[in-house]
Amino acid sequence: MLVWPFLPGGLPGVPKFQTAHAANQGMTIIGDAARGWNGTNPTITIAHGNTLTLTGSSGDGQAHFFFVDTDNDDSVQDCPIDNCGPQISPQGSDTSVMSGFIPGSYSYYCSRHPWMKGSFTVTPPQSTSFALTRRSVYTPVIQGLWGYEIVSVSSLQGFSGTVTFSPPTFPAGISASLNSSSVQIAPSKNAAVFLNITSGPTTPKGVYTITLTASNSLNSQTISIPVTVLAPEFTFYQNPQMPIMLGRSDNTNLTVVSLNGFHGIVNLTATISPPGPRIHLSQNSVYSDYRKFGTAKVIVDSTGAPLGDYDVTIQGTTESTLSNSVIPLSNSTRIHVYIWQPASSVPPTGFNLPSSVLAIIGIAIIIVMAVLANWKRDMRFWRVRTTPSTQSRRCPVRFDAGYRSLASEGEALPTLSVRVLVVLDTAGEHPG
């Protein structure tokens, strides 16, 4: 099935409708759990056959999900039976296009806050006893495949009876047929038909219109159904920028993604402009379908290449087989390569001194260390204790060869009878 009846969207602000007879009506609503939609839950009215574009935002920092209860089962959300619209995030806004409204009166809600409820009215077409309503906003069909559209038939003005369909009319390149040529309807009973749509394998991409006419004993109705023909395709995803240091190589992943039912082998080629760096692919073909993406590496070697900018072009070609027909396909993508070089001079990490200066500094350090070692060897301490008191004094004492002399470094020693105790810091040197 290739039908998407409803697209997500949103609602903020005060209602702003376009002209009553326009094919599209626009509206904005702000969701607020405490105050309701737009503060008052206003009545929304749309003409039958029109689409409704809703743009919404949150007014209270909470998420909201707008939907129209088209099956009238109160606030229970059951898409796609209900006509579901914008899913509004706590921040930002969302837009949704809604269609497929059968004439009648409904209620709209927020699925997260069911008390946010308002009236939703779809006005019927004039002077007719039944209405035809296509369910989807967008009816896509892929080349060589098929899809379908659902058309609802509803009673107006109390009509009960048979509605008969004429064969659909369609342009060259597509075909259409109905699963039933007639339906029975009543005021409390709607009906629906399935419109099967097929596209030829070589039908050009684009929008095609199918016309469907139905009638009863009173009048007739015609509905136009736009169909979008899509081609099975593939596309590329990769990092668009690739900076490389001169003299090095680097690589980036290239992913081949299937679109619209494509499946097959994609052949890859790579070129670079202007010439300079060397380029190659890790593999020259990959397989891709809707379940598995193909991946290859694009490898660029900058050795010997001039600095500057380069463009790598990746070309993919394949043949897609659908309905026993072979369709040539191709696509391409680009990667911008920039080759750069670091600055030639690197800031010094320390002092760069001539070797002669370093030698002088080394000699000076050795001399200083020798002097300190000699001074440490000759230094001793002595303690002076006075007999009548407890005062003590520490003074350096120097031992010369053959005799001992005391130097109090300019301090006068007391003229007392003293007892001298020499304390050596290194046992065994110059014993006293």
CATH number at residue 104: 2.60.40.420
Q: What angle do CA 116, 117, 118 make, to 5 degrees?
A: 135
- The answer to whether the bond into 274 is cis (omega within 30° of 0) is yes
Give the end of a domain, one of 67, 96, 123. 123
Nearest one of 118, 130, 117 to 46, comparing CA atoms:
118
- Structural domains counted in the chain: 4
Q: What is the mean pLDDT of residues 405-429?
A: 45
pLDDT band at 80 (very low <50, low <70, confident <90, very high): confident
Cβ atoms within 10 A of the Cβ of 195, count? 23
What is residue 191's predicted lDDT score, i.e. its pLDDT?
95
Can you tell me the distance from the alpha carbon of 423 to that of 432, in angstroms, rounded to the nearest whole number? 9
Among the ranges given (13-27, 113-127, 228-242, 255-269), the one the predictor scored with the smallest mean pLDDT: 13-27
Percent pLDDT > 70 in the chain is 76
Same-domain status, 317 and 402: no
| 1 lies in some domain | no
Same-domain status, 150 and 98: no
Q: Which domain range does residue 214 map to? A: 130-230
> What are the tokens at 131?
């209405």
| 347 lies in some domain | no
Whether pLDDT at 22 is above 50: no
| 82 lies in some domain | yes
Same-domain status, 332 and 371: no
CATH number at residue 281: 2.60.40.10
| 79 lies in some domain | yes
What is residue 426's predicted lDDT score, i.e. its pLDDT?
45
Answer with the residue of higher pLDDT: 84 or 408.
84
Whether pLDDT at 20 is above 90: no
What is residue 352's predicted lDDT score, i.e. its pLDDT?
56
- The answer to whether the bond into 80 is cis (omega within 30° of 0) is yes
pLDDT band at 163 (very low <50, low <70, confident <90, very high): very high
What is residue 327's predicted lDDT score, i.e. its pLDDT?
64
pLDDT band at 190 (very low <50, low <70, confident <90, very high): very high
In sequence order, the 6+-apart residues with CB closer than 8 A to the CB of 281 are 254, 268, 269, 270, 296, 297, 298, 299
pLDDT band at 326 (very low <50, low <70, confident <90, very high): low
Whether pLDDT at 387 is above 80: no
C-alpha distances (whole Å) from 284 to each of 115, 253, 265, 270, 278 are 59, 13, 10, 9, 16
Give the end of a domain, one of 86, 102, 123. 123
Same-domain status, 254 and 313: yes
Taking only the tens place, the pLDDT of each residue in 104-143 is 999 999 999 999 999 999 999 888 899 999 988 789 999 8
What is residue 423's predicted lDDT score, i.e. its pLDDT?
46
Taking only the tens place, the pLDDT of each residue in 302-320 is 999 999 999 999 999 987 5
What is residue 233's predicted lDDT score, i.e. its pLDDT?
87
Nearest one of 91, 75, 64 to 9, comparing CA atoms:
64
- Number of residues that this document lists for the chain: 432
Nearest one of 137, 108, 130, 146 to 192, comparing CA atoms:
130
The secondary structure element, H or E, covering residue 365 is helix 355-378
If phi over 0 gives left and psi between -120 and 50 gives alpha, with beta otherwise, what is residue 302? alpha
Contact between residue 221 and residue 213 where contact means Cβ atoms under 8 Å apart: yes
Mean pLDDT of the chain: 80
Nearest one of 203, 207, 201 to 228, comparing CA atoms:
207
